[in-house]
Structure 1
Amino acid sequence: MGLIGEVLLLPFAPVRGSAWVIGQVLSEAERIYYDPATVRAELARLEERLEAGEIDEEEFDRLEDELLDRLETGLRSSAATNDWTS
């Protein structure tokens, strides 16, 4: 983009900057959400809740399935990232 284009788009700079920041925050949130270490820690806490009687077997199974799906997604995405960076 040339100088004229930059000058014409200058009023939109805060919007572009905000969009970039939102994208960065979203990427970091997804990285943490799907991080295998985070999911494994949540699985351990879930098992502790079951043993403490805070939740029943049915709720445990449902939440465990959700966490295992997240773990699988996280492992798949990290494997894909490693394939692209190798």
Structure 2
Amino acid sequence: MGLIGEVLLLPFAPVRGSAWVIRQVLNEAERLYYDPAAVRAELAQLEERLEAGEIDEEEFDRQEDELLERLEIGLRGGAGTGDGTTR
């Protein structure tokens, strides 16, 4: 893009900068959400809640399925694409 284009788009610089920051935050959030170590810790907590009687078997199974899906995605390396999807 030439100098004239840059000058014309200058008023939009804060918006472009904000969009970049938002993409970076989303990438980091996805990385943490699918981090295998974090998911394993959540699985351990879930099992403790079941053993303590805080949740029933049905709720345990539902949450466990969600966590195992996240773990699979994290181990596959499909997190952090920044577009809200996984590879």
TM interval, shorter chain, is 0.7 to 0.9
CA–CA distance in structure 2, aligned partners of residues 57 and 77 of structure 1: 30
2:40 match = 40
Matches within 5 A, 1:1-86: 1-77=1-77
Q: Which has the higher contact order (CA 8 A, sep 6+)?
A: 2
CA–CA distance in structure 1, aligned partners of residues 11 and 25 of structure 2: 23
2:85 match = none
Letter aligned with residue 31 of structure 2: R
Identity over aligned pairs, percent: 87
Runs of 4+ in structure 1 off by over 2 angstroms are: none
Provide the alpha-carbon RMSD of the alignment.
Answer: 0.8
CA–CA distance in structure 2, aligned partners of residues 75 and 11 of structure 1: 42
Letter aligned with residue 70 of structure 1: R
1:83 match = none
2:82 match = none
Q: More helix per residue: 1 or 2?
A: 1
Aligned residues: 78
Task: Give, in angstroms, the shift of residue 32 of structure 1.
Answer: 0.2
3-state DSSP class of the match of 1:53?
coil
CA deviations 1:36-80 (Å, max 9, x no partner) are: 0000000000000001000011110110000000000111126xx
CA–CA distance in structure 2, aligned partners of residues 6 and 44 of structure 1: 53
For structure 1, the 5+ residue unaligned runs are: 79-86
